[in-house]
Amino acid sequence: MACVDTPDYQIRTMTRGEVDIAIDWAAAEGWNPGLHDADCFYAADPDGFLIGLLNGEPIAVISVVKYGEHFGFLGFYIVKPEYRGQGYGLQIWNAGLAYLDGQTIGLDGVVAQQGNYRKSGFSLANGNLRYQGVGGAAPVADSALVPLSALPFADLCAYDQALFPERRSTFLRHWIDQPESTALGILQEHRLAGYAVLRKCRDGYKIGPLFADSPELAERLFLALRARVPAGRALFLDTPANNAAAVALAQRHGMSMVFETARMYRGPVPQIDGQRIFGVTSFELG
């Protein structure tokens, strides 16, 4: 990726170690990243993470991950508070958009910033709602549930591709194998009919994605993963606001909405079946 250099301010691709800076800043913003997100995210596109340095000091970050030739996702757009409003964020934003030039770009932005994103050509597709509850439920016995590691990886990729704008096999391999996580699939008539991943976060645990062919299958996956969360620990699920069954699932299990984002796209809105998406994978990488 091309660098942007001025006498004092440099924008360049992050090293793997510098991705930890973005994760820490995201945690400070209250976004509650997963403990092992950095390795998974970096594997998706090592060139898709930018850092802005002012006289050598990191002051701005952004991720612009390419999933293929046609789709990329923008996240981790953060400027250190004391440097905001001085143009540094806009410079790294423009550098990120240049990297994804020619692709449809998605983002999950703070609702209050929708107007600014529209100025860069983004349009609102739907809201995403973060729900918070607690774990500690009794274990679930369900013979249709299987570890994703026991299934052909090609089957998982094929299922996921119908519910994500671009094939993301490299990311998925790392996502389902990360430490301190549980990845389950659910079978129906001997075929994969849904899957979900639970991972440990700075605060509690998150389920994401939660994809399923029906609300009933989604609930079975949700219950199985909630049972893996230690009693009393926080559990989070990011639901698309336009999937009423997903919202109802979270509310039915005593979860409360604590955060909201605006899913926006620049370019054609991807044609995916949103009614099978009960939990998005992450707000940072889509």
pLDDT digits (tens, 9 = 90+) for 271-281: 999 999 999 99
Residue 24 — φ and ψ, nearest 5°? -65, -40
- 123: how many CB neighbours lie within 10 A of its CB? 12
pTM, two decimal places: 0.94
- The two tokens of residue 112 are 């209050």
Sequential pLDDT tens for the chain (286 residues)? 445 556 799 999 999 999 999 999 999 999 999 999 999 999 999 999 999 999 999 999 999 999 999 999 999 999 999 999 999 999 999 999 999 999 999 999 988 888 999 999 999 999 999 999 999 888 878 999 999 999 999 999 999 999 999 999 999 999 999 999 999 999 999 999 999 999 999 999 999 999 999 999 999 999 999 999 999 999 999 999 999 999 999 999 999 999 999 999 999 999 999 999 999 999 999 9
Peptide bond into 209 cis (omega under 30): yes
67 vs 69: CA distance, rounded Å: 7
Close Cβ partners of 90 (under 8 Å, ≥ 6 residues apart): none
Task: Please report the domains of the chain, with CATH numbers, ordered by start residue.
Answer: 4-106 (3.40.630.30), 130-279 (3.40.630.90)
pLDDT value of position 2: 46
Residue 216 — φ and ψ, nearest 5°? -65, -40
171 vs 45: CA distance, rounded Å: 9
Helix (H, G, I), strand (E, B) or coil at 40: helix
Longest CA–CA span in the chain (Å) reads 63
Mean pLDDT, rounded, of the chain? 95
Q: How many CA atoms, within 13 angstroms, populate the side-chain half-sphere of residue 257?
A: 14
End-to-end CA distance of the chain: 22
